[in-house]
Amino acid sequence: MHDTLEAARPASAAQTGDRASFRLAVFGAVLVVTLFAGYGLGRLHNGGNAMLGGNAMPGGNAVLGGNAMPGMTVNENQPHVHNADGTITQGGAATSMNMGAAAGGLALSSGGLTLVPASTTFRPGHAQKLSFTINGAGGAPITTYAIVHDKPLHLIVIRRDLSGYQHLHPTMAPDGTWSITLTLAAPGSYRAIVDFTAIVGGQPVATTLGTDLTVAGSYAPLALPVPVRQVTSQNVTVAYDGTPRTESTQPILMTVTAPDGKPAALQPYLGAFGHLVMVRDGDLGYVHVHPEAALVDGKVKFWLAAPGPGRYRMFFDFQVAGRVHTAAWTAVVG
């Protein structure tokens, strides 16, 4: 987000002598204060709620959906993290002092918004409809959302042992009911995490909520895979460089190699060259990170500050030759 400074208005009439000098000095002091105040507010809002309108960068892919006013946009071009508290943290050097991203998906309700699922019980291996609404403070479903990275709402489903990851996109009916056909392959307890930016009172509220889904049957949790730096997804090899930390924002670079050993030709997927999701072992705390707009030496570059110490699964969604891949790693954050 760019800082926006309002130009000071000129004096109504010219003055002479000492009075003119005095007023000129006062004007200069006020202008300096205004400049610094504008700069400070701009820096504060970089870590605040997504901004409507303003100087969105060309090519930005976040626009308002539903019953939004035309022409209103949300700037999603810069690398950033969608936090659980309704804020978006910009990445890069500007956030090098962040003390970890906020883990989302831990609560049904946050910031005056509540996730209300129609049903949370599933049968293993059966396709069933998952339906829910996002209700506002008055209890009525929200029907207006921002389109963030090509979709008004992102749904992440994962089992409590961090297996069975799915990144889905439900559709919304005019009454605000979201629905999608969902298949949960194995018994166990799953977490459904909804990541969205609702428009409440004309203002965007970026929020992440979560609910448990239950699949009946005998549950045998899988052990987390050992940490590695390189994995293979559908004959495509993916490796990452960088170490997630809690005390500062760190660069994480993804390298995708085709079966012939050459760099894969990455294609934009959901408005970016990749999406990085981290889910924490134990409480399923969730972080969704978007990369820099351009590749860096052919690599996808994210900026990440882990929410806290622990074991995580990292999921990197990307697209090659029209096919979406997901690479997954176990990462231990000290």
Q: Which residue has the higher pLDDT, 101 or 319?
A: 319
Sign of CA dihedral 194, 254, 327, 230: negative
Q: Flag whether 39 is in a domain.
A: no
pLDDT of residue 314: 97
Minimum mean pLDDT range among 12-26, 124-138, 162-176, 258-272: 12-26
Instruction: Give Dmax (Cα) for the chain.
Output: 90
First to last CA, the chain: 32
Binned at pLDDT 50, 70 and 90, residue 247 comes out as confident
Count up the domains in the chain and report the number: 1
Q: Flag whether 84 is in a domain.
A: no
As given in the structure block, the two tokens for residue 277 are: 């999701």
CATH code for the domain of 255: 2.60.40.3340
The string of pLDDT tens digits covering residues 143-166 is 999 999 999 999 999 999 999 999
pLDDT of residue 236: 94
- Residue 120: phi, psi to the nearest 5? -125, 15
Phi-psi region of 231 (alpha: psi -120 to 50; beta: other; left: phi over 0): beta
Question: What mean pLDDT is predicted for residues 21-33?
Answer: 36
pTM: 0.74
Q: Flag whether 210 is in a domain.
A: no
SS3 of residue 70 by DSSP? coil
As given in the structure block, the two tokens for residue 282 are: 């134990």
pLDDT of residue 190: 98
Q: Which residue has the higher pLDDT, 86 or 334?
A: 334
Q: Flag whether 234 is in a domain.
A: yes
pLDDT of residue 248: 86
Q: Flag whether 96 is in a domain.
A: no
pLDDT of residue 74: 40
Domain coverage including residue 301: 230-333
Question: What mean pLDDT is predicted for residues 93-117?
Answer: 78
d(CA 219, CA 119): 20
- pLDDT of 118 above 90: yes
d(CA 161, CA 189): 9
Neighbours of 292 (CB within 10 A): 20
pLDDT of residue 234: 79
| Tokens 């069975």, located at residue | 164
| Tokens 């074991």, located at residue | 311
Question: What mean pLDDT is predicted for residues 256-274?
Answer: 95
In this structure, the dihedral spanned by the alpha carbons of residues 146, 149, 155 and 157, taken in order and rounded to 10 degrees, is -160
Q: Flag whether 237 is in a domain.
A: yes
Q: Flag whether 288 is in a domain.
A: yes
pLDDT of residue 47: 29
- pLDDT of 99 above 80: no
Q: Report which residue type is found at 226.
A: V
Neighbours of 209 (CB within 10 A): 24
pLDDT of residue 35: 31
Which 8-state DSSP code applies to residue 28?
H
| Tokens 């060259």, located at residue | 273
List C-alpha distances in Å: 279 to 102, 160, 330: 12, 10, 10
Sign of CA dihedral 264, 270, 273, 275: negative
As given in the structure block, the two tokens for residue 117 are: 């699922």
pLDDT of residue 334: 86
d(CA 86, CA 110): 8
- pLDDT of 220 above 70: yes
Question: What mean pLDDT is predicted for residues 114-127?
Answer: 97
As given in the structure block, the two tokens for residue 292 are: 């820099």
Q: Flag whether 286 is in a domain.
A: yes
d(CA 269, CA 271): 5
d(CA 266, CA 318): 7
Q: Which residue has the higher pLDDT, 4 or 67?
A: 67
Minimum mean pLDDT range among 19-33, 163-177, 237-251: 19-33
User: For residue 329, what are the β-bridge partners?
Assistant: 314
Looking at every residue in the chain, the average pLDDT score rounds to 78
CB 240 within 8 A of CB 251: no
The string of pLDDT tens digits covering residues 171-191 is 999 999 999 999 999 999 999
Binned at pLDDT 50, 70 and 90, residue 232 comes out as very high
